[in-house]
Chains A and B, each alone.
Chain A
Amino acid sequence: MASVKIPEQKVILCGEYGVGKSSLFRRFAFNLFIPSSSKQSTLGLDHFNKEYKVGDRAIKLQLWDTGGMERVASITSSYYKFAEAAILVFSLDNAASFHVLSQHLLDIVTYAENAKIFLCGNKQDLEGSVPQVSTTDMESFCEQCHSLISATYKTSCKTGEGIEDMFLDVAHHLIESNQSRFQLQNFKRGSIKIHKFNEETNAESCSC
C-alpha cells in the first residue's frame, strides 16, 4: 500500500457522439490514436488514473469516458456523481457539436454541481483555414455561461497536439482551487469502496 495517498480527482468527458471523447481518453491513457476507419465505437473504455505534478504537489486525474451512452442521450446521472471536473468536448470541424453544448453544460451543473468545467475544441487538425467554430465563438460561449468555464483548449488527438498541456492545466486548476475543499470532503464522507475480498485474491492487494 502506498504510504501517502494522492488524492484522485474524477474528471468526466462530456459532449456529442463522435467529437473524439474516446480519442482524448486513449491519448490520456495510452498515448494512442486509432483512426476512425478502424474504430467501431466506444468499447471497454471506462476510466484511467494518471498522476500529475504541479510544483511540489501531486494529483491523480481519474479520467472517465461516457461508454458511448450519449449516442441516444441516455447517460446515467451516476456518471456525473463525484466529478471534480468536466471537460466539454466539441469538434472544431462541426459547428452543431458546439451549439449543443449548452445542454451538456446544463446536465453538468445539475448532476455535478461542484465540478469545474473546461471547454475543449478537438480535431484541430481538421480546422482548416475557415474554421467552423472560431476562437471568438468559444469566447462568447464562455461569456454567456457567466464564467462557469474555467479554461478553454484546442486539441488534436490525431497529432497529439495540446492534449498533455490541457490535462496538466486541468490538474493545475484542481490543485489550486480544490485542495482544501476535497480534503474536507474526504474527511466528511467516510464512505467505503468495496474491493476484492482477501480470501479471493491475496496476490495483489494494492489498488493504486
Chain B
Amino acid sequence: MDEEYDAVVLGTGLKECILSGMLSVSGKKVLHIDRNKYYGGESASITPLQDLFERFKAPPPDETIYCKGRDWNVDLIPKFLMANGSLVKLLIKTGVTRYLEFKSVEGSYVYKSGKIYKVPVDQKEALASDLMGMFEKRRFRNFLVFVQDFDENDPRTWKDIDPKRTTIQELYDKFGLDKNTQDFTGHALALYRDDDYLNTLATETIERIKLYSDSLARYGKSPYLYPLYGLGELPQGFARLSAIYGGTYMLDKPVDEIVLEGNKVMGVRSGSEVVRCKQVYCDPSYVTDRVKKTGQVIRCICLLDHPIPNIKDALSCQIIIPQKQVNRKSDIYVSQVSYTHQVAAKGWFIAMVSTTVETCDPENEIKPGIDLLGRIKQKFVTVSDYYEPINDGTESQIFISSSYDATTHFGTTCDDVLDIFLRGTGEHFDFSKVKLEGGDEEP
C-alpha cells in the first residue's frame, strides 16, 4: 500500500464501483477498498441464504424447505433498471453490459382502492383499462397522445402550453384529468415519489412519461429490466471495468481514518498503514462526521413460495401504491423477483416492500404493501437512515455519495454518480475512453 494514488475509493456499493470504473478509465490511479469481504456494500446481493438469515439474526434456514443456500442471491436494496434509462446507457457506453444478462420484468401495476391494476401506457391500453371510467379514459388517451407528440423544440406540438411556464398541474387541468388519473400518471408513469412535483414544469413530467413508454417499447411487457443473479452483479461489473483499467482492489480491509493535511485529504489509514492519495470517494458509512441524516427508508424483504396474488402468476413485477391511495406523503413500492432470475431456489419468490419513513411506526406504514403479498414464509425488515454529504467535497477533496433512496429504479443513483464525477474531476465523463482489448463486440 505504500504507493500514492490519484484516488482511493471506499466501499464497493454500486455508486462507488461506477465511480471507480470511470476514474480508472479516465487514466487515474485508483485503489478501491471495502471493509467487507464481499463486493457491493449496501447494494450487495446476499448469498448463501444462511448469510441473509444470520444478518437479520434469524435462526438458520431449513434446507429441506429453502433448498440450497447458494441458489439464493437476495438484494438488500430492491430496484429495477429502466430499459431506456441512464444506468442502462451507462452500462452500454462503458461496455459493462457484457458482464450481465437481464430479464424483462413481466408486469407493472398500480394500486387503487385496495385493488391492483396494470399500468396503462399507450392509447390502446388506456381505453381498455378498468382503472378509469369511460369518459376519463378518453381524456387520459388525449393526454397520452399529447405527451407522445410533444417536442420541446417544435412549437407546433405545444398546443397552447408554454414549456417554460406551464406546470404539470395546469396541464392535467387542461386535459380535465381527475385526481385518480393524476395520481397514477405522476406516480406510476412519471415515478414521482410524492406530490411536490405538481408545481414543477410540465415538461419534466412529460420527459419522465416518455422515458417510461420508450423503455416499455424496448423489451415489451414492462419498462423494467432485472439482472440474473441479482443487483449485486452491477457493482461487480463496474469493479471489473475498473480493474481492467488498472484499478487495484482490496476487500476485507478495515478503514480507520481519513487523514487530512489542513482541510484537504492526504491519505487513508488502515491500522498502522497510511496510503497517500489526492482524493477520496466514498459512501456515507466511511465518513459519519461529514454527512447528515435527512430521512429514513424502510425496506421489507419477504420470501414467498408463490407469486404475489392477482398478477397473473408473473415471475416478476412492480406494484406502486400512490401516496394518496393510503393517505401518505410518499409512495409505497412493491417489487417481486424469483427463481427465474437465479436469485431464489426453484419455486421461490422474493418480494420487497419499501417506502420513505413518515411516522414512528414504519412497519405499520408498509402494511398496505405487505397485505398484497399473500402468505409470507419469512420476513426481514430494515429501517435505514438516509444520509447526504454536508458539502460538495471540493475543499476537502472527499466526495461522498448519498444513501440509496426508496425509488424503484436507478435514475437518482446515476444522477448522483455523474454529479460526483463532475465535482471530483471538473469534467464530464468521456465515454470514448472506454476501449477494452480483447472484447469482440466492437470491431
Contacts and interface: CB of A to CB of B under 8 A. Distances in A.
Nearest to A50: B440
A8 to B, nearest CB: 10
A193 B102 CA distance: 6
Nearest to B25: A44
Contact of B437 (A44, A189, A193): A44
Contact of A77 (B95, B236, B243, B438): B236
A78 B229 contact: yes
A78 B437 contact: no
Interface stretch (B244-252, B325-333, B363-371): B244-252
B70 A110 contact: yes
Contacts of A189: 101, 228
Given A69-B240, A78-B237, A44 B249 contact: no
Interface in B342-356: none
B8 to A, nearest CB: 14
B133 interface: no
Contacts of A69: 239-240, 243, 249
A195 interface: yes
Contacts of B441: 195, 207
Interface in B412-432: none
A194 B225 CA distance: 10
Interface in A102-121: 110, 113
A208 B225 CA distance: 24
Interface residues of B, number: 42
B244 A44 contact: yes
Given A72-B250, A74-B249, A45 B240 contact: no
A13 B200 CA distance: 53
B92 A43 contact: no
A45 B437 contact: yes
Interface in A71-101: 71-74, 76-79, 81-82
B179 interface: no
A195 B92 contact: yes
Nearest to B342: A81
Interface in A9-31: 25, 29
Interface in A33-60: 41-49
Contacts of A197: 92
Interface in B208-241: 219, 225, 228-229, 233, 236-237, 239-240
Given A78-B233, A189-B101, A191-B101, A43 B248 contact: no
A42 B240 CA distance: 12
A118 to B, nearest CB: 20
A45 B39 contact: no
A78 B440 contact: no
Interface string B79-96: 000010000100110010
A16 B311 CA distance: 49
Contact of A81 (B83, B104, B229): B229
Contacts of A81: 228-229, 233
Given A25-B438, A191-B228, A194-B225, A44 B98 contact: no
Contact of A194 (B39, B102, B251, B442): B102
B225 A47 contact: no
A190 interface: yes
A68 B31 CA distance: 13
Contacts of A82: 101
A41 B29 CA distance: 13
A196 B92 contact: yes
Nearest to A113: B70
B271 interface: no
Interface in A165-198: 189-197
B443 interface: yes
Interface string B391-404: 00000000000000
B98 A47 contact: yes
Given A43-B246, A196-B92, A73 B251 contact: yes
Contact of A67 (B70, B98, B244): B244
A41 B244 CA distance: 10
B341 to A, nearest CB: 9
A46 B244 contact: yes
Contacts of B225: 192, 194
Most chain B CB within 10 A, of A65, A67, A190, is at A67
Nearest to B47: A77
Given A74-B251, A193-B101, 4 more contacts: A42-B244, A43-B437, A47-B439, A74-B249
28 contacts: A25-B438, A41-B246, A43-B244, A43-B245, A43-B246, A44-B245, A44-B435, A44-B436, A45-B437, A45-B438, A46-B98, A47-B98, A48-B440, A67-B244, A68-B246, A73-B251, A74-B250, A76-B39, A76-B236, A76-B239, A77-B39, A78-B240, A79-B240, A81-B233, A191-B102, A192-B103, A194-B225, A204-B442
Shortest Cβ-Cβ A-B pairs, 6 listed: A76-B236, A78-B236, A44-B437, A67-B243, A74-B249, A191-B101
